[in-house]
Structure 1
Amino acid sequence: MLDRRLFLHLATWLGQWPAGPGLHVVRSYRRARPAWDGRLRPAVAVRAPGCTVLSVPPDRVDAVRALVRGRSVAELLPRLPAAVGVPEFITHAGVFRWCTAPEPLPDVGDWIPPTSCGLPAWLRLFDREVLVVRDAGGRYLAGAGIKRHDAFGHELAVGTVPAARGRGLARRLVAQAARRVLDDGAVPTYLHSVDNHASARVAEAAGFPDQGWSSVRVVPR
């Protein structure tokens, strides 16, 4: 049975969940409003085995439905940004994972404000505390942030500087951040490109199995 938090997240984030077999284009006001980082995500799709829901702005539903007819997903993806009114954006496809029981890895990071000194630019996009590992000299090694899409689903992002890779920091950060999300009453999600094998290994080690789900998003370059 699908976790209730995940069900509520998908229904809220996409505008509808579940749907019948095949690809379903649905409308959501969220696609016309800034996302967690203040930038638009005018198309978001989640594919589960046998079902795909593609969420677009209300005024773009007809155009996207017309685009979908008679086209495979491979043909659809490069045309999707223009169909939702942002031809300068790109389409990103990846594996969609979630977790309700993170691996019991020991905590490794500290929660600090995203405005703290020495953090990379991507962590400064977050509006709440981020999870960070520093070395003995205070230099940044790895970090994780939480993208709070809605009250029910929070997506994790993680990054490690090249010199600190291979130490298991990322998997421990993801498990630690997942525990916080669950404590807050939401379900943690994790997305990565299909060919990002390192990120896939981090997800698996932290307790985010690949259950055959995927996601597509139209995002700024």
Structure 2
Amino acid sequence: MSLTDHLRHWLGAWPPQEKLQVTGSVRRTEPGWDGRVYPALGVGSPDGAVLSVAPEHVGRVTAARSLREVPELVGYAERGWFEAVFRWSTRPAPLPDAGQWMPADAPGVPDWLWPFGGEVLVAVDPDSGEHLAGVGIKRHDRYGRELSVVTAPAARGRGLARRLVAQAARRVLDEGAVPTYLHALTNTASAAVANAAGFPDRGWTAFGVAER
């Protein structure tokens, strides 16, 4: 189990052999974790970056003057382009557990967690039974699992998100995969959660054609 295994499988190549290596992968034409196609996907480190596209698009994307042209070049101009901070952890923060694992389709699970499938991690108010926060897992491959966390507005400021992310990360590691965490470049709240949960900012990025 390693981050290299995950990125090599997810993108089609890793580590990068140049500043920006465009590689072809049939995974860019196949359904992703949620059943949708992700036609261009990349990860960048201080040593270089890999941008994965369908094999037939490699030549055009390699010749592009700007990455902003990529959505149109791969046939998804309506989706636009995204950039995010890419983090991972092998040593989550030793924070106390904050939630319980339950099937994503269990009664009462918030609807935003349904698409993740499998089991999701949910924090519930012990008195009211209200769901306060949760973590879903994007199961990209057997080597890497991306964590997504949301906290209800009324429950923010209690440290639930960081505890849930650390708890979920420990489970992913126990299952033999690497937990990853992405957030928008300007999302300081999500960055604070990641730092507190043991996902340091190493100067890595994720980028590609946006989901919508």
Pair in the same fold by TM > 0.5:
yes
Question: Is there any run of 5+ residues in structure 2 with no aligned partner, and where?
Answer: none
The residue that corresponds to 2:98 in the other structure is: 108
**Range 57-66 or range 188-197, more displaced:** 57-66
Is residue 141 of structure 1 aligned with residue 132 of structure 2?
yes
Shift of 1:137: 1.3
Q: 1:142·1:169 contact (CA, 8 Å) conserved in 2?
A: yes
- Once the two structures are superposed, residues 84-112 of structure 1 have per-residue CA deviations (whole angstroms, 9 ceiling, x without a partner) of 11112122111000000001000010001
The residue that corresponds to 2:207 in the other structure is: 216
Is residue 91 of structure 1 aligned with residue 88 of structure 2?
no
SS in 2 for 1:172: helix
The residue that corresponds to 1:164 in the other structure is: 155
The residue that corresponds to 1:62 in the other structure is: 59
Alignment equivalent of 2:113, drawn from 119, 123, 128:
123
1:209 and 1:194 map into 2 onto residues whose CA distance is 14
1:119 and 1:151 map into 2 onto residues whose CA distance is 25
Alignment equivalent of 1:203, drawn from 178, 194, 208:
194
**Range 57-66 or range 203-212, more displaced:** 57-66
1:95 and 1:58 map into 2 onto residues whose CA distance is 26
SS in 2 for 1:88: helix
The residue that corresponds to 2:18 in the other structure is: 21
Shift of 1:203: 0.2
Structure 2-normalised TM-score? Answer: 0.96
Q: Which amino acid aligns with 2:194?
A: A
2:102 and 2:80 map into 1 onto residues whose CA distance is 32
Question: Is there any run of 5+ residues in structure 1 with no aligned partner, and where?
Answer: none
1:62 and 1:93 map into 2 onto residues whose CA distance is 22
The residue that corresponds to 1:46 in the other structure is: 43
Q: Which amino acid aligns with 1:213?
A: W
- Once the two structures are superposed, residues 6-47 of structure 1 have per-residue CA deviations (whole angstroms, 9 ceiling, x without a partner) of 010011101000122311100111110110001111111100
Q: 1:45·1:215 contact (CA, 8 Å) conserved in 2?
A: yes
SS in 2 for 1:211: coil
